[in-house]
Structure formats: structure tokens, C-alpha cells
Amino acid sequence: MAEKHLYLSLIPQALIGSMLEPEAFGSYYAVGAKAHVKGEAIFFEVDPAFRSEDFPFHLMDERCITQPDGAPKRSVYLSIYRVLSRIPVSALGNLYLVTNDGKTLELPRSVYLPEPGGRLHLYQEFCPITPMVASRSEPHDFCNAITDPSHPVHVPRLVFSELRIGELAVDPQNGAADDLPYTNLAHLRDVLYELKYNDTKPSKLVLKQVKEGVLYRMVQGGFYVGDQTDFAFYRFPDHDELENRYRGWWRSAQVTALE
């Protein structure tokens, strides 16, 4: 009997029960059973012992069972709305990044060491909202601020990553930016400039919604999930490590989609 897994998908949000191992689930979730679709995915493995009144876990016993033909059950959706906010960070296991092509990279939790301040940051949020935000705050402080319920604009819990901005991190006005892939670089410069020199706010919106998917090549540090009480860091391998240890995933992650 195959083990049952719980997965928290972030794009789109869903809590899914499955008898597939994470890598097989990632492939299935991205390209489907017949590989006729494609689409990036990010998901956490959730502690299988996690239980909550918020979700119909009885469906796991009823439906997440071996199929009559002997095949493992691939997916049983338990919820598709406000899922992240109802699962504590402590219940989240490894993070899985899945390419369009269905290749899965596993990221275990790492120790987070805050970086000394002084530079500017750019964050791509994945769940529950998907904007791009510039900030003076390092990741932990940023997460604290955005999940602060006393602030009118907040979310209960957030998954995000930091993106490289090269020289703009210290010199938004004159720093070289030609090789950055972000749309509307002039606007990004303006926002960073305001943050550095004028604005009193710690963070400013750069883009309401990122449509290009995950810019893995630009990920700096790694991925973060947190709220007011808990914070977890998933280190993203550096480019050499990606090239040498995770080449299959890395090559797939860099394929350009034209549509």
C-alpha cells in the first residue's frame, strides 16, 4: 500500500491528497497524466499527521485509495480556497518547485541568517497574492510587516522569494540595470529610488501581478514562508550547484515559453 501524502499547492492554492511521491506528483500536477498540458507549480509537502477542522480529511480515507486497476490515486482535492492561511508553518515540510515540463526540485528547510541591512530588496510573492514588491526590509522583517494584522494591508501568511536587482540594490539611480529581466525597469528604478531617498514606507508595490511565472534565474537566497509567529527559509541552490547537481531541473527551468 503506497503512502498517502498531503500537498499544499500555491499556484493555484489547493490542499491535495495523493498517493504519489513528491517528484511524481510534481510531474503529474504540471503536465497531467497524458502530458498534454504544461504549467509551473510550487507546492509544500504537508505533515501527513496534520489535521484541522477546516478541511474534510475523511476524504483522504474514502477517496485517496488504490484504484481498481492497481494505480495509486493521484489527487484528491480537499480545498481550493484560502488554504495557506489555514495551515501553520510548522506543518509545512519540504518545498517543491516544478517546471513547465514537470521536473521537480526539492528544497529542504534551511537555517535563516538575517543579512545586515543597508541594501534594497525586491520580492516576488507567490501566495496568497502575486505582486512584485520592493522593500528596504530584509526577508524576515518584510514577512513580519506584510502579515501584521494591525496594518490595513496585510495577509495572514505569505510565501515569497527575493529577486536579484544587481547594482540597483545600492544605487537605484545610476546602477547598471540593462541585464535585469524585469518589465518596466524605469518604474523599478523610480520605486527603489523613492524607497532609498524619499519615502517613509518600508515597502512599495512594483507590479500588481507577475505574469511571467517564477524567474528562477533571478532568485536570490531562496524561498520564504512566514507569518507573525513563525518563519521558514528554503535555500535555493546557487547557479553552479544548479548547473552541476540539478542540471536536468535547471535546464528545464530555463526553457523560454513564447506564448
The binding site for another protein (CB under 8 A) comprises: 27, 31, 33-36, 38, 99-102, 178-183, 212, 215, 217, 243-244, 247, 251-252, 254-259
Closer of 145 and 215 to another protein (Cβ): 215
> From CA 128, how far away is CA 160, in angstroms rounded?
10
As measured in angstroms, the least distance from the Cβ of 152 to another protein is 34
As measured in angstroms, the least distance from the Cβ of 9 to another protein is 19
> From CA 14, how far away is CA 82, in angstroms rounded?
8
Q: 3-class SS at 203? A: strand
In the chain, the largest separation of any two C-alpha atoms, in whole Å, equals 65
* Kind and range of the H or E run holding 59: helix 58-63
User: For residue 202, what is its C-alpha cell?
Assistant: 518600508
Closer of 53 and 178 to another protein (Cβ): 178
As measured in angstroms, the least distance from the Cβ of 18 to another protein is 16
Closer of 89 and 218 to another protein (Cβ): 218
> From CA 75, how far away is CA 145, in angstroms rounded?
35
Closer of 15 and 191 to another protein (Cβ): 191
As measured in angstroms, the least distance from the Cβ of 244 to another protein is 4
Strand partners, 233: 110, 224
